Structure 1
């Protein structure tokens, strides 16, 4: 399918078109998240590099940030470890990036409903490329922050990928399709950090010293690799991705066969519940998404700082840890979630994932007592770290994807079949529908708000009280969320297809 080709309004999606579209989304998302995850294991030492380079200069943005940290330190009387300053600084950057995504996501979703998923995705890709180009030549901390700001406002690939998969799948096959999004995450989190750690050892400034005055720095090579990945992704989307925002679901039975669904299964029917009830469900899901990612993102973000702090992990060691989580998460996604989500129910998978996260954080909270060669049950601290990481892999494979699937089932596909509104009655009918792009944009926005405040809150607690209390608090919080999910997340009422 060429770049000019789109699935026309009210045109049925054949199994071939649906499968091809999901495959294009999977490959594009794989490239996108690879580029995104390259920087993850580099944060502690990247910030340390800027700190050393700009030390003594009182007129830099980094100096301003560090002064505020020092004032905060004097007020609360905590944070005696100098490495913890970088933890708090890193948390602030992570929070800034996610807060900008929180602000932009609803507009990106609504824009895609009106102008199309493909066009919107291409526009956001241009912003991602600009962001990475700025990082490539970020000689100062200020330029690096600017790159993160542009990237935060532009990142729309994940939410648009989810909307596209929801466009071309039925409610019966949606969890299987969205599991591919999770698999793309898992593979990218396996390879991306390792790529970042590897290319961080290649100093582009030494290879091309004539460009040092332009801003090349010791961490420009990972940025260059990310820029190549994003450029390839943009070209691939332009050439291969069709427009999906206007397609019809009349041919849903054929789509189900394309996803190798061999048995008749119950299918969720949004017509069985009122619009007001579905809107209430979405509000509940948005709040749970916020709470979960507030704590999970905070713990996740501090993980590489914890390994740097306790075990003095290198970039490569952090890359291996994140890679382990990614590989195991991909296996769980493909072998368990994608096969079982519709049968056992998305809510049960969410419950399993949240409980697994609580166990993981409890294990990691105990690591502070095992950092000096001590053992627990004859197992050393690093081995326990990997055991905790295994539980985190189950969490990564289940919670967000299944919550997203439940949220998408509250939306109306019919809104996207109407090209023009004729008459007052049609206008009133449309106003009672829930547009998918906008609803999923708000759902993702709530999660990004959690990601915005989670890292800074977790890094602040880590900085004040240490890693043990930080992760123990996270474990307790996940137990509370576990209870909330059991009570508040709506069960998907299903009826047999006729």
Structure 2
């Protein structure tokens, strides 16, 4: 009877944590995505005023355009320049995410989440008053360094003791992403049009981003409980975890800087193995394999996602509004799948579900690459949205089961870092293939390469069976 009451109380607490994390992350992502539809216009603005820093970076874009054969069109220039800034942002995430996660293992999730949110507020204030491109770029650099909310929120969900709750929490994080990337850009475009000052059209969305982040800061401070458990045992739902006697008091802390910055160390999760009570060798092998699957999937996926704008503009002459409608369709489809299906996937079926989702990406990108009408395009986009809604939440939930209670921040921070590295490199490689070899060959070849994460998943399954 007492155990039933304890389990019920734990379920109630987990549900409350998931709701708070969902709302906090949604506020964060709404502020973050306001800039997305404005980026081409912002870049055009700095180009027209002859900003010297902008012109210097433009020369890099021009070199890349000439090297891979991108046509001399304003639309393509905006996509390439935006991709350059996006890669910079992802590289900063690659550097900062493991450090943020490890710090949260020492000082708690909530203090670090408050600190990174304050940093984001500062980046949005810089954006609001960025009359020069150097200030705008500084705002993106500050934002990239401080954008630790996602990895910290996944660490908070990873702190939950029940695998079922962790799975639901990761799915709800996915829903927050889908809604944020669906609603945020629409709000950004709306508030930019409402501002009368043509030269400072971005100031309205920037101040709205400040308000979202300020609201997020207050909400986290008042509503989010600290989930890091350093002085008490963490028990699984109806299951005893290995080495539970020693998991209660450990803290992975900040290891050698190389463990949190060098790619090889990150792929090996070295910062986790250097603790006094590291996971078993089998668990570490599984964790490394999951990290490799996560990286290869996002490397391929983010590259093809980036080239979608090239394909729809080149083949279907999509306007910015049509592009917005396409991404709205993707976002809503993902939110429905994550809210209705992904969060109900049982922990024991996650790897099988991820494999099924990645398999669906092969026909998805074949349809998109060979689509010459909107019916084929949107059929491919539906399969694409299905996979996008499932793979990352399920892999994150699988990774969240590794490491002791005081290592979760480091584990999830490293995972987030690997994803950021994939998102920094994938678009550069895939867009080069797109323009050098053509859209059809790019999408066909890339879809074939999804066999790589499938093979890795099969090896992971075999490792677990052994």
TM-score (norm: length of structure 2)? 0.83
Aligned partner of 1:47 in structure 2 is 43
**C-alpha distance in 1, partners of 2:430/2:142?**
24
Alignment equivalent of 2:423, drawn from 427, 439, 451? 451
* Match 2:304 to one of 299, 307, 312: 299
Given the alignment, which residue of 130, 140, 163 partners 1:138?
Answer: 130
The equivalent of 2:400 in structure 1 is 408
The question of whether the paired residues in 1 share the 8 Å contact of 2:175 and 2:338 is answered with yes
- Describe the SS at the equivalent of 1:221: helix
Question: Where does residue 13 of structure 2 map in the other structure?
Answer: 17
Aligned length: 424
1:268–1:409 CA contact under 8 A, matched in 2: no
CA change 1:14–1:341 in 2 (3 A) is closer
Post-superposition offset of 1:305: 4.4
| Structure 1 unaligned blocks of 5 or more | 1-11, 207-215, 257-266, 371-379, 417-434
Name the Cα RMSD after superposition.
2.8
Deviation at 1:63, TM superposition (A): 1.2
Contact kept, 8 Å, 1:88 with 1:456, in 2: the verdict is: no
Alpha-carbon distance between aligned partners in 2 of 1:241 and 1:456, rounded to the nearest angstrom:
38
1:78 is aligned to 2:69: yes
How do 1:241-390 residues align onto structure 2 when only pairs under 5 Å count?
Answer: 241-246=224-229, 248=232, 253=237, 269-270=241-242, 275-342=280-347, 345-367=349-371, 370=372, 380=373, 382-390=374-382
* In structure 2, C-alpha distance between the alignment counterparts of 1:284 and 1:242, rounded to whole Å: 32
Query: Structure 1 residue 43: deviation in Å?
Result: 3.3
SS in 2 for 1:172: helix
Higher helix share: 2
CA distance, structure 2, for counterparts of residue 270 and residue 171 of structure 1:
15
2:216 pairs with 1:233: yes
Change (3 A) 1:326 1:73: closer
Whether the 8 Å CA contact 2:235–2:241 is kept in 1: the answer is no
User: What's the counterpart of residue 217 of structure 1?
Assistant: 200
Seen in structure 2, the aligned counterparts of structure 1 residues 314 and 230 have a Cα distance that, compared at 3 Å, is farther
C-alpha distance in structure 2 between counterparts of 1:350 and 1:167, whole Å? 22
TM-superposition CA deviations, 1:37-79 (whole Å, max 9, x none): 223333344434433x24xx3x6122112223333445x3722
Indicate whether 1:187 and 2:179 are aligned.
yes
Decide which moves more: 269-278 or 346-355: 269-278
What pairs with 1:143-158 in structure 2 (closer than 5 Å)?
143-158=135-150
Change (3 A) 1:219 1:386: farther
Change beyond 3 A, Cα 1:43–1:249: farther
Going from structure 1 to structure 2, the CA distance change for 1:30 and 1:493 (only over 3 Å counts) comes to farther
Per-residue deviation, 1:466: 4.2
Q: How do 1:411-430 residues align onto structure 2 when only pairs under 5 Å count?
A: 411-413=403-405, 416=406
What is the distance in 2 between the residues matched to 1:103 and 1:109? 11
Q: Distance in 2 between matches of 1:60 and 1:110?
A: 38
Deviations 1:333-385 (A, max 9, x none): 12211112335x11012112212222222222124xx3xxxxxxxxx3x3333
Please name the residue that 1:65 is paired with. Answer: 57
Q: Which structure is larger by alpha-carbon Rg, 1 or 2?
A: 1
Q: Give CA-to-partner distance per residue, 1:390-422, whole Å, 9 cap, x none.
A: 112111211111111111112222xx4xxxxxx
Taking structure 1 as reference, are residues 283 and 357 closer, same or farther at Cα in structure 2, changes over 3 Å only?
Answer: same
Report the 3-state secondary structure (helix = DSSP H, G, I; strand = E; otherwise coil) of the residue aligned with 2:193. coil
2:234 and 2:60 mapped to 1: Cα distance? Answer: 58
Map 1:467-486 to 2 at 5 A.
Answer: 467-486=439-458
Which residue of structure 2 lines up, in the alignment, with residue 213 of structure 1? none
Match of 1:441 in 2: 413
Q: How far apart, CA to CA, are the structure 2 residues paired with 1:465 and 1:203? A: 43
Find out whether 1:119 has 2:111 as its counterpart: yes
Is structure 2 residue 84 aligned with structure 1 residue 92?
yes
Residue 361 of structure 2 contacts residue 383 of structure 2 at CA under 8 Å; is this kept in 1?
Answer: yes
Separation in 2, partners of 1:244, 1:472: 45
Are 1:462 and 2:462 matched, yes or no?
no
Q: CA deviation at 1:102?
A: 0.5
In 1, Cα distance between equivalents of 2:216 and 2:203: 20
Note if contact 1:124-1:157 (Cα within 8 Å) is conserved in structure 2.
yes
Q: How does the TM-score come out when normalised to structure 1?
A: 0.78
CA contact (8 A) 2:161 2:234 kept: no
- What is the alpha-carbon distance in structure 2 between the residues aligned to residue 29 and residue 412 of structure 1? 24
Q: SS at the partner of 2:345?
A: helix
Kept in 2, the 8 Å contact 1:41–1:304? The answer is no
